[in-house]
């Protein structure tokens, strides 16, 4: 496959002003009539360039220019492109294509899901519908007429406003939609199905009434309320915080079962994976509700950050994704607990994005090249991209950042722009120089910030030496220091914050400050300190970096109970637990667990002042995935054993406190989604999980009771998970059977049922995983099912996946090869766990590599999988 380079970007030779589409939808295919109004781009130097239109899996039926059919020789159908060598300055091109949505298993372009037609055009799906200059810097107005059988497809939707409808012969009907906003083809959408409509309204800040509609299959009609409310909260929030008002008269959400990602921000017609939008108390967990709220907000926020202002090319993907993730994370923080949201974001970043940054697919937030753009919808583009925007926010402050975003939207409304344009708007609005800061977009890899300190009692001076370095990544060595906002505080022995007075400074010293690192090494001198402080570093995770400092266990215990920064309080607990677990990895069985850890967790469980949501987070031990990420040469079995040992030790030592915690947090009235109620459920389910881990009989009875009597999915699943991960084999089997029987007609709950088993080292050994693949509810064509079994096994059941006999790797290779023929995007994503083979101890790594080689050697590998596998083996 060909590599595409940012450095080779050229403006389009032709622009499209208007697209008129007519879809004739049938059971055996669809005919697409397209009329493009095209003109030569005055900014392109090429005056006699051929017209080049992308295409993929299309059967061309006819081409005409200004109404005259083109003859053989006047155009070239290359399969992946339609080329018309000679065209006038301005013209209309009529193209008719035939496509087969019913056979489209890639789920790109127009396809069928549970009997309905739907589309996914980002990044390059529109070319699977008709020939088109399928690049985001070609923005056009779309008018779309959809024709279909009326009884099978009563609902016909596309972008914009409905402008016409009527009856046709043979029981068919049509609806025409017009979108007044010019847009790139990746934002085009079409839906046709037998769907129920849920209606609501929203009055914007300027008093306009917007029709809000959700379209779902009839069986899901009762699962729409939460998403609709989340949508209204998002609309209000975007007005209040960013001054962004919705622009069309109608905003629609559609839920579909078969979808490659979470959702898609098509203009006025957002399409969602059912699992990311449908929810009810009985079927969705607290985590699912929170995810739905965040994704609904994310897609809605794209209406400005992505749709009104879009990307010039796909190298700029983080322009819309990084900024929009930052916006949705601010929104979620405002809707719930900001500290908990920060902990969740940092956990994802440190566990998964840092791993990506240290692996063979590492790339900058603005990549310089790619083979298959679908492989670049990554944690680096999304999550690190959001952290980069967050740092700009922190450097500029609230007010200047808002000025910058206002300027960005006003300056670039209706344009396709670059990340550099975004940064320039921030600079122009604030007067700050972000020259060095731009390196965050250009350099891959996670910066390492190493801190050392000394305290001079006689002068009262505390010296911090801070060094930064950025590891080499594929194709990038010898990197320059970056601009890093580094927030910190200092604590005295009594737990009080100490003033941070830099030498030579006058005036009152702050109790927390943000140091701006720009060089490879800095030395900061703080004066006036009458005792040696304990440093609290990188508060609130002020930059996406790794911090190294030789904290002692005493210091971590101290910070865990005293740091006024909630994030660092949690972080101290994590660092302590990591240190204790790491000290047991590979140690003899007789090695003891640090007893102070039990004391620390006991104080935590008994701390009545502590925010319960933070306590719930602090009680989660670092995951195996994070421990693997931190290891040099990961020995998975040893890490698993060490973590299990610490968990068992804590549960034994804190048995009574855990039981008290459970009892304190049960039976608190009606189900609510407040941070407090969510924290209570999290606390009781963590307590239950720990107690069942040590085989506690009383806890077993409580778990069974909770499983049977729960009025919500968080508690039912919490109990099920605790049972499945325990050694009570019979109770586990009974609970799994009862759960399936109760929810077998709800695909989203069945996905939970699959993933609870696939991610458990008790219920998810390879033979059981194979049985799940043979289960009647499993469906290879549905990405959610594949993720809930194969994905969960490889990413969450690490001890089983990394079975030293290599069977887990072989299994994954087999499934990737199988899936590559039908859905290459999902196949390429499934390969990810194998790509980190260099990270593991030799016994594992050799076998992971040979599994990758097996995939590499498959005949007819897709471009998606080819890129991931070849880059991993290079
Ligand atoms: N912007 C959307 C990206 C997306 C996507 C990309 C590749 C293949 C399938 C896809 N479905 C959705 C989602 C978002 O970030 O909002
Ligand atoms: Zn997005």
pLDDT in tens, 837-847: 999 999 999 99
> Looking at the CA of 106, which ligand is closest?
1
Residue 277, C-beta contacts closer than 8 angstroms, at least 6 positions apart: 214, 227, 253, 255, 263, 292, 295, 296
List the catalytic residues: 299
Q: How confident is the model at residue 45 (pLDDT cuts 50, 70, 90)?
A: confident
> Among the atoms of ligand 1, which is closest to the Cα of residue 259?
11
Residue of 264, 298, 325 to mutate, ligand 1, most atoms within 8 A of C-beta: 264
Q: Does residue 146 have a pLDDT over 90?
A: yes
Atom 14 of ligand 1, residue of closest alpha carbon = 264
pLDDT at 490: 98
| Model confidence at 722: pLDDT above 80 | yes
Place 770 in a pLDDT band, splitting at 50, 70 and 90.
Answer: very high
The model's pLDDT over 269-281, given as tens digits with 9 standing for 90+, comes to: 999 999 999 999 9
Across the strands, what pairs with 779?
none
Residue 668 has pLDDT above 80, yes or no: no
pLDDT, average across residues 525-529: 97
Once rounded to an integer, what is the mean pLDDT over residues 563-576?
A: 98
pLDDT > 80? residue 97: yes
Whether residue 560 has pLDDT greater than 90: yes
User: How high is the mean pLDDT of the chain?
Assistant: 98
pLDDT > 70 in the chain, percent? 100
- Same fold across 1-194 and 448-549: yes
Q: Evaluate whether 253 touches 214 at the Cβ level (below 8 Å).
A: yes
Q: Averaged over 572-583, what is the pLDDT?
A: 98
> Rounded to a whole number, what is the distance in angstroms from the first to the last CA of the chain?
15
802/808 Cα distance (integer angstroms): 6
CA 342/CA 387 separation, integer angstroms = 11
281: number of CA atoms within 13 Å, CB side?
A: 8
For 366-376, what is the mean pLDDT? Answer: 98
The residue whose CA has the least distance to atom 7 of ligand 1 is: 374
Q: Averaged over 406-420, what is the pLDDT?
A: 99
From 867, 835, 864, 874, select the one nearest 852 (Cα to Cα). 835
Q: Which residue, judged by its Cα, is nearest atom 10 of ligand 1?
A: 261
The residue written with tokens 């963590």 in the block is: 686
Strand order across the 269-273 sheet:
196-203, 209-216, 250-256, 269-273, 263-264
Report CA(20)–ligand 2 centroid distance (Å).
27
Report pLDDT digits (tens) over 183-227: 999 999 999 999 999 999 999 999 999 999 999 999 999 999 999
Which helix (H) or strand (E) element contains residue 209? Answer: strand 209-216
Mean pLDDT of 483-488: 98
* 47 confidence band (pLDDT: 50, 70, 90): confident
Gap between the Cα atoms of 639 and 92, Å rounded? 64
Which pLDDT does position 46 carry in this prediction? Answer: 84
Fold observed for domain 448-549:
Immunoglobulin-like (2.60.40)
pLDDT at 71 over 80: yes
Topology of domain 1-194, CATH: Immunoglobulin-like (2.60.40)
Residues flanking ligand 1, CB < 6 Å? 120, 122-123, 260-261, 263-265, 298-299, 302, 321, 374, 377, 825
Closest ligand to C-alpha of residue 324 is 2
Q: Average of pLDDT values for 15-40? A: 99
Residue 258 banded pLDDT, cuts 50, 70, 90: very high
pTM for the model stands at 0.98
Domains in the chain: boundaries: 1-194, 448-549
Residue-level pLDDT at 678: 96
Closest ligand by atom to 260 CA: 1
Question: Tokens for 37?
Answer: 């109004």
Quick one: pLDDT at residue 537? 98
């Amino acid at each position: 496959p060909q590599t595409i380079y940012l450095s080779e970007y050229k403006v389009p030779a032709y622009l499209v002003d208007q697209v008129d589409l007519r879809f004739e939808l049938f059971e055996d295919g669809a005919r697409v009539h397209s009329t493009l109004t095209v003109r030569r781009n005055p900014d392109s130097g090429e005056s006699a360039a051929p017209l080049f239109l992308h295409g993929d899996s299309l059967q061309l039926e006819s081409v005409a220019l200004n109404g005259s059919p083109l003859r053989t020789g006047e155009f070239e159908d290359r399969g992946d492109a339609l080329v018309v060598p000679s065209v006038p300055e301005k013209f209309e091109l009529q193209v008719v294509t035939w496509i087969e949505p019913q056979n489209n298993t890639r789920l790109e372009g127009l396809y069928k899901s549970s009997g309905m037609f739907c589309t996914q055009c980002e990044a390059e799906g529109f070319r699977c519908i008709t020939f088109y200059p399928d690049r985001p810097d070609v923005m056009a107005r779309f008018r779309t007429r959809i024709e279909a059988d009326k009884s099978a497809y009563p609902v016909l939707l596309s972008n914009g406003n409905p402008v016409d409808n009527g009856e046709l012969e043979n029981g068919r009907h049509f609806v025409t939609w017009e979108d007044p906003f010019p847009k790139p083809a990746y934002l085009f959408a079409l839906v046709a199905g037998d769907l129920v409509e849920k209606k609501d309204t929203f009055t914007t800040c300027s008093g306009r009434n917007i029709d809000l509609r959700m379209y779902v299959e009839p069986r899901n009609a009762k699962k729409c309320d939460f998403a609709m409310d989340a949508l209204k909260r998002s609309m209000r929030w975007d007005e209040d915080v960013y001054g962004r008002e919705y622009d069309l008269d109608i905003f629609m959400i559609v839920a579909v079962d078969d979808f490659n990602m979470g959702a898609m921000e098509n203009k006025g017609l957002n399409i969602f994976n059912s699992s990311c939008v449908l929810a009810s108390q009985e079927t969705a967990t607290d985590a699912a509700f929170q995810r739905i709220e965040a994704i609904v907000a994310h897609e809605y926020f794209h209406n400005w950050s992505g749709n009104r202002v879009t990307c010039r090319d796909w190298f700029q993907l983080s322009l819309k994704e990084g900024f929009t993730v930052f916006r949705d994370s601010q929104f979620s923080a405002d809707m719930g607990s900001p500290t908990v949201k920060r902990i969740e974001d940092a956990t994802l970043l440190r566990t998964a994005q840092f791993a990506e940054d240290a692996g063979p697919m590492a790339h900058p937030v603005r990549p310089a090249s790619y083979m298959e753009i679908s492989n670049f919808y990554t944690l680096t583009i999304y999550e690190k991209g959001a952290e980069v925007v967050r740092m700009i926010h922190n450097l500029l402050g609230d007010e200047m950042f808002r000025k910058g975003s206002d300027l960005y939207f006003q300056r670039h409304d209706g344009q396709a722009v670059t990340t550099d344009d975004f940064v320039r708007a921030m600079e122009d609005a604030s007067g700050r120089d972000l020259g060095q800061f731009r390196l965050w977009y250009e350099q891959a890899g996670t910066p390492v910030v190493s801190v050392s300190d000394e305290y001079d009692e006689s002068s009262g001076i505390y010296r911090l030496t801070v060094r930064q370095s950025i590891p080499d990544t594929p194709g990038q060595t010898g990197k320059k220091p970056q601009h890093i906002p580094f927030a910190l505080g200092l604590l005295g022995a009594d737990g009080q914050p100490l003033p941070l007075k830099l030498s030579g400074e006058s005036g009152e010293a702050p109790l927390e400050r943000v140091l701006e690192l720009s060089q490879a090494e800095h030395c900061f001198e703080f004066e006036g300190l009458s005792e040696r402080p304990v440093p609290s570093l990188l508060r609130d995770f002020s930059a996406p970096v790794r911090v190294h400092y030789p904290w002692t266990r005493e210091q971590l215990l101290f910070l865990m109970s005293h740091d006024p920064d909630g994030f660092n309080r949690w972080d101290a607990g994590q660092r302590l637990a990591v240190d204790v677990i790491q000290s047991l990895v590979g140690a003899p069985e007789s090695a003891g667990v640090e007893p102070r850890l039990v004391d620390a967790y006991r104080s935590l469980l008994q701390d009545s002042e502590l925010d319960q949501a933070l306590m719930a987070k602090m009680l989660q031990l670092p995951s195996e995935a994070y421990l693997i990420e931190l290891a040099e040469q990961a020995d998975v079995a040893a890490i698993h054993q060490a973590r299990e040992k610490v968990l068992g030790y804590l549960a034994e030592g804190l048995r009574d406190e855990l039981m008290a915690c459970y009892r304190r947090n049960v039976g608190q009235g009606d189900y609510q989604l407040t941070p407090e109620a969510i924290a209570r459920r999290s606390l009781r389910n963590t307590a239950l999980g720990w107690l069942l881990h040590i085989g506690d009989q009383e806890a077993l009875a409580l778990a069974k009771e909770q499983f049977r009597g729960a009025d919500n999915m968080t508690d039912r699943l919490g109990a099920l998970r605790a049972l499945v991960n325990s050694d009570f084999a019979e109770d586990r089997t009974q609970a799994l059977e009862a759960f399936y029987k109760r929810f077998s007609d709800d695909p989203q709950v069945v996905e939970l049922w699959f993933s609870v088993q696939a991610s458990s080292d008790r219920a998810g050994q390879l033979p059981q995983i194979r049985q799940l693949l043979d289960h009647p509810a499993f469906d290879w064509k549905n990405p959610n099912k594949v993720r809930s079994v194969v994905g969960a096994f490889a990413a969450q059941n690490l001890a089983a996946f990394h079975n030293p006999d290599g069977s887990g790797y072989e299994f994954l290779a087999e499934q990737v090869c199988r899936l590559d023929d039908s859905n290459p995007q999902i196949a390429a994503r499934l390969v990810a766990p194998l790509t980190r083979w260099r990270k593991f101890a030799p016994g594992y790594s050799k076998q992971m590599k040979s599994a990758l080689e097996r995939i590499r050697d498959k005949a007819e590998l897709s471009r998606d999988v080819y890129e991931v596998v070849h880059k991993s083996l290079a």
